[in-house]
Each structure stands twice: as C-alpha cells, then as structure tokens.
Chain A
Amino acid sequence: MNDKISIEAHDLTKRFGDFTAVDAISFNVRKGEIFGFLGANGAGKTTAMRMLTGLSKPTSGSAVVAGFNLDLNPDKIKKTIGYMSQRFSLYEDLKVKENIRFYGGIYGLTDQQIKEKSEFMLQKLKLESNANSLVKSLPLGWRQKLAFSVAMLHDPSIIFLDEPTGGVDPVTRREFWNMIYEAANKGTTVFVTTHYMDEAEYCDRVSIMVDGRIEALDTPVKLVETYEVKTMADVFVKLARKATRSE
C-alpha cells in the first residue's frame, strides 16, 4: 500500500435487510488531506463513516484505515484514529479537566502525557481559567472546540468528524476550521461530513454521496467546473436531486 494513502475503501457495502445503505463505495484519502464527505440526509454517509471507524461491520467490501485492514486489525485502527460525533461528545457534568483525563485515560495516555497535553491544549484554547468548570457551563462553540481538541489528544493519524459544526455560529465555525487546517498541516488526515457548503469549499477534496453511492469525487474547484455551476451548493443540489430515496 502506498504510504501516502491514509484511507482506502474497496466496494464497501452495508445492507440492513433489503435496504442497501452504502452501495459498494470505493475511494482513497491521502495523508494530511481534508476530505469532505457530503450527502443529503439518508444518503449513507454516516453509515459509511461508522464502518470506517469500526462502529459498524461492513456487509461486504474492505477498507484499509491508517495502514491497517479493517477486518483484521480493528484494534490497531482504534488506537490511531480520533472521532468526534455530530452529537456533542463531552460529559457535561464533568469538569473540563476531568473530561480530558477521562478521554486521555481510555486512549491509554500516561498521567504525565495527559498533564502536559491538557496544559498545552487549555492554553491554546484560552480555557486555563475554566479547567475546573463543568463543561455544561461553557458556551456551545467552546465546547465544540474543546471536543475537537480532546479527540486530537492522542495524536491520531486520522480524525473523523461527523458534522462537527452543527448549530455553531459562523465565527466559531471559522475558528473551528482553523483548528482543522492546523491539524491537517501537521499531517493528520481529516475526514469530515458536513451540511454547510461553504465548509465543503474549505476541503481539499469532496465526495458527494447519493443513494448510497459516491456520485462525484474531486476538488471543489473541479466539481464546480464539471457540473458547470457557480458554487458547491449548486453542485450539491444538482446531484442530490437525483436521489430516489428519502430518509
């Protein structure tokens, strides 16, 4: 396998009974790339992501994630990927510090590592004075940024972000994307799903899923050219209209 490839999917398929949620998708994601994974609700992108993160077993097909085969080495994959779900994934009744300790702990970091990393992280997020606040007392935008940093705590080689900016204001979204850029610049592969088309344009490459298949995959600029429209939003609408199934 090419060591510049971070995720490699081959005919990845998931069926629930008669329903084919993900229909033999194949794609590659390069190392350090920001890969946008788009699709209307019910197009199958969450299912695809769940397969890649080991939450769901593929019906058929295979994938190599961070250099490990999804079927053979799921445990090794788990250690090298990070995940932030679309639903807020920190504990609100735990303090900021305790959340960091917990997630650092389940990823097997040592006390020393956790201590160093959390100091660095809090400093960067300007949350030092809030280290002992309960997470629920923080504004949503802060929480989201904190959740991202926590997901990056163990220096994963790939970070999966499932609609990370849902419900966040534009300013915080911008800041959030700066964090994503920074991670990508350090070599982390970013696999992100989103419904915001401006965010799609921030991605290096974008795939658009329709009815369980990948209909288009290219850089945002090329996609706009290919479909002879002005913006990514137009591309998305043009493709999503083809969908025959709804949620």
Chain B
Amino acid sequence: MKQLLFFIKKEFFHVLRDSRTLVILFGMPIAQVVIFGFALTNEVKNSSIAILDQANDQTSSAIIDEISASRYFDVTSYLKTNAEIEQVFRKGKTRMVIVFPPQFEYELNHTNSATIQMIADATDPNIANTLVSYASVIVMDYQSQQTLQTLPLSIKTETKMLYNPQLKGSYSFVPGVMAMVLMLVGAMMTSISIVREKEIGTMEVILVSPIVPMRVIVAKMIPYLLLSMVNVVSILLISYYALDVPIAGNLFLLLAECFLFTLTALALGLFISSVAETQQTAMLISLMGLFLPTVMFSGFMFPIENMPIPLQVLSNLIPAKWFFYIVKDVMIMGNGFKQVWQETLILTIMLVVLLTISIKKFKVRLE
C-alpha cells in the first residue's frame, strides 16, 4: 500500500511540474466548453430577422411580440412589400423573414388553420434550419396557449414536452466535449506517461524492483482518474453556471457514468502504452485511433443515423458513442438508470475486455 502511495505521489509530481501537461489537462476542457458553448449559442442567439406583416391583426402582432421577445431573434426591420424580401436578404444581415399573409386572423378563426411563411437564408443550412425550428416552436407555443382556454388541460402538457427537445439539441455539445476531454486525458495522458518511462529507462528499473506490475498499473491510473473527475466537475460547473445547460438527471448517476467512461479511457491508454514504444507514437495512436473516432462516431458532431450502414456498425465499437447517449439521457433529458442501463452495460463490458487485454499485455512485456 505504501509503495502505491509513493508511486501515486510521484505521478502527481510529474503532472504538476509539466506546464504543457497542465495546459492540456485543465486548459483544454475549459477552452472546449467555452468554444463549443458560445460558438453554438451565439450564432443562433440574437439573429437578425425581418417581418412582413400583411395582416396587421391582433394575432399576427401577438406572435410578432412573442418572437421579438425571444432571445434568439432580433427583429431588425419591418417590411411592406414582397419585393423588399429579396432586398433585405441581399443586404446580408437578415437571416430570416417571417411573412404573415393578409387575412391571417380571419383564416385562423374561420378555417382553424392559417399559414405563416418563413423564408430563411440557407447559405448556412444549419443555422437556417435552427432558426426555422425555433420560430416554429414559438408559433406553436403561442398556438397552444390560445387553445388552452378552450380545451381541457390534459392535452396541453403533452404538446409542451414535445417542443423542448429541439431547443435542447444545442446542449448536446456538453456530453460531446466531455467524451472528447475524458478520452484525451484518459487515454493520451496515461499512455504517454507510461511510454515516457519506457523511453527514459525508468520503467526498466521499476520492473526490476519488487513492486508488483498490477500496482504500477493502478498507480498510473489513479492520478489521471482523479484529474479526469476534476475535469468532469469543472465542465459541469461551467456548463451549468456560465452556459445555462441544465443538469436534469441525477448528479450522482451522471458522475458515476463519467467515472465508468474515464476508466474505459484509461484502459485504452494502458493498451496503447503496451503497443507504442515512443511518446510520439502513443500520441499519434491516441489522436488518430481514439480522438478522431470519438469526434466522428459519438454522434456529437455528425448524426450517426445519416451514416452509411458499415459506419453505423463501426460506431458501435466506439465507447464514446455509448457515453454520449448516457450523458445526453441523464444530464439533458433527466432520465434515470432504467433508461441507460443497456448503454452502461455495454461500456462496462468494453472496460472489462480492454482492461483484461491491457493487463495481460503489460505482464507479457515483463517476461
């Protein structure tokens, strides 16, 4: 036990004395949350839109009020004619024009249906999509408020639940960043720290010493496990306080799942360290073999459903994919363990398999 403590202490010295490691460890997660957080929200927040209200009735003004009150939209101009739509887009700042047809309220009251036209600048299709869906949500929200007065209460709550997922979509960067950071810290840092000892020759001395190999592995993993959990907490704090991302589910479940995923990343790092002979190799394998797949196949940047079948199958092998599901479920949607036990089981199996292989390989190397 004492041996272990000496070893762990030594690992902390390594981390704390290397400014580069510190920057990667603590700077990166913060930078990523901030970049992803603000980059993603800023673009959609305060978007300039224009309104062409041909109806000028009570309903249309009420909806316009709702839209301009939203923090996503900034109504910068009111148009008078159809011809102005093209002009206002050409000026470049306006991202969307909302058109209310004449007779809007009349149609709504007499046929129970009316149409609002939303014309978006689709040069950036993602933003256009987001804006249209946000605006639709506001309109539907208004509509449901109006029906509320005439219809029984039970219907309204269901509809409201449906609205939210679209808005929540923008929060998915938090689970994504968490997966990336934990993968990078866990796998890359651990593998580099082990391979570095191979490079400078201290590993040999350690292996000649009476310390049990299993303890070496544990001593190498514990510091990065702790640091990773520090990262998890700081990401959650920034997300919650600075970026208003909710933590809807059970915090302990969330932390436990993060712990599980960190262990998986550490096991991967251990595996890499048994394959790589130099720090550069370890870094390359971590980046190309782990980081890239994590970004591509976790579903965080690119929807997996849109990928060709072979890639979809491949994505199942990426631990980050399951972690991403879990965090999204627990943190954003507020689901409990019942909803994520399958993903948790998959991650656990991955962890056990990886750890077994890595420990075996680590021992083989000694002999």
Contact = CB atoms under 8 A, between A and B. Distances in A.
B4 to A, nearest CB: 9
A107 B9 CA distance: 15
Contact of B204 (A85, A92, A103, A107): A85
A98 B18 CA distance: 16
B211 interface: yes
Contacts of B367: 56-57
B241 interface: no
Contacts of B209: 78, 83, 103, 106-107
B17 interface: yes
A81 interface: yes
Nearest to B364: A57
B201 interface: yes
B6 A101 contact: yes
B210 A83 contact: no
Interface in A59-80: 75, 78-79
A55 B211 CA distance: 13
B205 A84 contact: yes
A91 B18 contact: no
Given A84-B205, A87-B200, A89-B202, A55 B3 contact: no
Interface residues of B, number: 24
B178 to A, nearest CB: 29
A88 B204 CA distance: 11
A127 interface: no
Contact of B201 (A53, A56, A87): A87
A108 B14 contact: no
Given A78-B210, A105-B3, A106-B211, A91 B10 contact: yes
Given A57-B367, A93-B17, A98 B204 contact: no
B366 A106 contact: no
A86 B201 contact: yes
Contacts of A105: 2-3, 5-7
Given A87-B200, A91-B10, A106-B6, A55 B208 contact: yes
Contacts of B14: 91, 93-94
Contacts of A160: 208
A81 B366 CA distance: 17
A79 B210 CA distance: 6
B207 interface: yes
Contacts of A108: 2-3, 210
A227 interface: no
Interface in B12-36: 13-14, 17-18
A86 B3 CA distance: 25
A53 B208 contact: yes
B208 A102 contact: no
Contact of A83 (B208, B211, B366): B208
Interface string B191-208: 000000000111011111
Interface string A44-55: 000000000111
A98 B10 contact: yes
A91 B202 contact: yes
With a 10 A CB-CB cut-off, give which of B5, B18, B202, B209 has the most chain A CB atoms: B209
Contacts of A83: 204-205, 208-209
A129 to B, nearest CB: 21
B13 A85 contact: no
Interface in B335-367: 366-367
Nearest to A87: B201
Contacts of A92: 200
A101 to B, nearest CB: 7
Contact of A94 (B13, B208, B210): B13
A88 B200 contact: yes
A85 B201 contact: yes
Contacts of A53: 208
Contact of B206 (A57, A106, A151): A106
Contacts of A94: 10, 13-14, 17
A86 B208 CA distance: 14
A92 B201 CA distance: 12
Contacts of B6: 101-102, 104-106
Given A78-B209, A83-B208, A106-B206, A93 B18 contact: yes
A105 B2 CA distance: 7
A169 to B, nearest CB: 21
Nearest to A151: B205
Given A56-B367, A93-B18, A102 B10 contact: yes
28 contacts: A54-B207, A55-B204, A55-B208, A57-B367, A75-B210, A78-B208, A78-B209, A79-B210, A83-B209, A85-B205, A86-B201, A89-B200, A89-B201, A90-B202, A91-B14, A91-B200, A91-B202, A93-B13, A98-B10, A102-B6, A102-B9, A105-B2, A105-B6, A105-B7, A106-B6, A106-B210, A106-B211, A107-B209
Q: 4 closest A-B pairs (Cβ-Cβ)?
A: A105-B6, A87-B201, A83-B208, A78-B210
Interface of B: 2-3, 5-7, 9-10, 13-14, 17-18, 200-202, 204-211, 366-367
Interface of A: 53-57, 75, 78-79, 81, 83-94, 98, 101-108, 134, 151, 160
Given A91-B202, A94-B14, A107-B209, 14 more contacts: A55-B204, A57-B367, A78-B208, A83-B208, A84-B205, A86-B201, A89-B201, A91-B13, A92-B200, A98-B13, A106-B7, A106-B209, A106-B211, A107-B210
